[in-house]
Amino acid sequence: MKQGVLALLFASLLSVGIAGGPAAAAGTPDLWYHPKPLSADWQAFHAQSARDLALLEQQLNSELAGAKLSAPLPAVKAKNFGLDAISNSAQLQAVLSYQTVLGGWSKRTDMQQVRKPGQLAGSEPAYIPTFDNGATSSQMRWLAAYYPKATAADQAKIRSALTLAVQFVLRAQYPNGGFAQSYPLRGSYHDAVTLNDNVMTDLLNLLWDIANAPEYQWLNADLRSKAQTGFAKGVAWLVAAQVSVNGQGTVWTAQHHPLSGEPVAARKFEQISLVSSESAAVLQLLLDKAPEQPGVLPALCSGVAWLAQHQIRDKVWQRDDAGSKLVEKKGAQIWARFYSLPQQQPVFFDRDGKVYHDVNQLSLERQQGYGWYQSNAKNVLKAWKKKPELAAQCASPVTL
């Protein structure tokens, strides 16, 4: 293959930073910089990531050579995947054709038609497998849901593909239990442990289901056991990473440092701040699937209390061509997407990276293009009310 955009991409992703991880892009923080060498398990993870990235390149180069192409064919972009389930064998073959040799899938890619030899597995420049925007977890759930309806031949393909996919998810999990946005590692904020858009909770819910739900019971028992272990490691990471302010537990941020667990920023309009929506998803996960795991109950007590204290009552957020505003609505409950640290007050960011305290100060494009207020946390408060036996064990009463 010629030294084109893709080759340059792989070269940059394979480059090694001071700590042995991918080098950060210009102007972005290097999450892997550390004055001391990484521990053996983290060094092994980085080495594994570099090998896996090279394997992706080898797969594509082999396809290009076989198809006599000098450059890869582009993938078709789609907001999601062009479909939201597998309902027939043709769709199954198409989705399977986009599974990478590592076992994961890309995002924002139309997967309705079978991928051609030499065609990229994703529509974005960094087409490596990702967990962002529901990628990989969605395809894995589709495969499991279609399995009972598939022919014997297609079931064999699903068993092979889903086994590889589960192994991929477990392979991508950090030694401390967290998950980056993508794997192999890409550098910059992509390597942070990512709660944004529910990446972490989607994967942990998936691992729990693989270990416990009936639709995955046909998978290898040892693999399901490893999924349960991966789930428990992820929950332990969440408990340890819960942000504390002045000794009081709060919730989580959208991204956390892969090594220290400290909050880190992502894009300019996603600065360090507590997040309501993703934290609500974390608390729902802990409440539903891990209430007995060590450390979970205190995390639930403080997290639910924080959501209750920071809700905005009797208002809804409305957007139109002129901008956005909060409107009175009796009985409504909403939360700002972001809360400042350490003040814990609603905060908003624009593409210029500046901090604002009123959503109407943002550019029109950002007001219309981002969900600055959320309401899903109310479901956690409802679910908590149904668990009085847990609330009774909290060190301090949780007032809803």
Q: How far apart are CA 194 and CA 200, in angstroms?
A: 6
CB 124 within 8 Å of CB 107? yes
360 has pLDDT over 70: yes
Specify the pLDDT at position 33: 84
339 has pLDDT over 80: yes
CATH number of 5-241: 1.50.10.20
What percent of the chain lies above the pLDDT cut of 90? Answer: 84
What digits encode the pLDDT tens for the residues 111-158?
999 999 999 999 987 678 999 999 999 999 999 999 999 999 999 999
Specify the pLDDT at position 150: 98
Specify the pLDDT at position 397: 86
Specify the pLDDT at position 36: 86
What mean pLDDT, rounded, does the chain reach? 91
3-state secondary structure 302-323: HHHHHHHHCCEEEEEEEEECCE
Beta-bridge partners for 348: 356
Specify the pLDDT at position 369: 85
In CATH terms, are 5-241 and 246-400 the same topology?
Answer: yes
What digits encode the pLDDT tens for the residues 294-310?
999 999 999 999 999 99
Beta-bridge partners for 339: 274, 346
Specify the pLDDT at position 29: 61
Which whole number is the average pLDDT over 217-241?
A: 98
Query: What element of type H or E holds 325?
Result: strand 323-336
Question: DSSP letter string over 58-98?
Answer: HHHHHHHHHTT-SSPBPPPB-SS-S-SS--SHHHHHHHHHT
The torsion angle over the Cα atoms of residues 176, 181, 186 and 188, rounded to 10 degrees, is -90
Specify the pLDDT at position 24: 44
Assess if CATH 3.30.1330.90 describes domain 246-400. no
User: What's the sign of the alpha-carbon dihedral 48, 54, 56, 58?
Assistant: negative
Q: How far apart are CA 233 and CA 178, in angstroms?
A: 8
- In terms of pLDDT, which residue wins out, 347 or 370? 347
What digits encode the pLDDT tens for the residues 42-68?
999 999 999 999 999 999 999 999 999
* Domain ranges within the chain, ordered by starting residue: 5-241, 246-400
20 has pLDDT over 90: no
